[in-house]
Copies of this chain bind each other. A is one copy, B any other.
Amino acid sequence: MPVKLKFWDEQIATKFAGFVPDKGIDGFLGITIDSFEPGQLVASFKVLPEMVTMIGNIHGGCISAFCDHVLGVVLYPAMPKGSWAATTEFKINLLRPVSEGVCTASAEVIAMSKSTAVVRIDVTNKKRLVAAAQGTCLIMGPQS
C-alpha cells in the first residue's frame, strides 16, 4: 500500500541516484541508489572482504547501517527543499547470513506527515530475503 506523497522533487531524486559516497558509513559500505520513484527506492552495496568477520559472514551491523541510511534517503525528494530527515527509531530482523555478492534494499514509505514518516525495507542477497526492517524518520522543515 504505497503512501500518497504531497511533494516530489525529481531533481533531488536524480542527484541522490548519481551520488558516490566517499566518507561516512555509506562510503565504507559503498552504497549506491539504483532507482528512485515517489515513496520508493532501490539501493545496493557490494560485499567486500573487509566487511566479512572471522565467522565468514558480513557483520550484521553492515546491514543495519544500510537500512538506517536508506530509511532517511527515501524521504529527501518527498520533502520541501531545505528539510532534513533523521531516523529516530527502527527495528530489523536479520533473516539469513550474507557472505558475498550484492545486498539490495527496497525501501517504501508507508506513512508520511509533515513531521514524521514510517518506512519499510526489504534487503535481498542472491535473490533471497536476508533482512526486513521498519522504522520512523523525524522530518525537520526548512525553517524549523
How many copies make up the complex?
A: 4
* Contact (Cβ within 8 A) B134 A93: yes
Known contacts A59-B26, A62-B25, A118-B132: A111-B93 contact under CB 8 Å: yes
A89 within 8 A of B: yes
Q: Is the CB–CB distance between B91 and A90 below 8 Å?
A: yes
A21-47 toward B: CB 8 Å interface, digit per residue (1/0)?
Answer: 001111110000000000000000000
List B contacts of A118 (CB < 8 A): 93, 95, 132
Residues of B close to A51: CB separation below 8 A:
24-25
Q: How far is the CB of A5 from chain B (nearest CB, A)?
A: 14
* A136 proximity list for chain B (CB < 8 A): 88-89, 93, 136
Known: A25-B25, A89-B94, A95-B118. 7 other contacts (CB 8 A): A24-B52, A61-B66, A62-B65, A65-B65, A86-B94, A110-B129, A115-B115
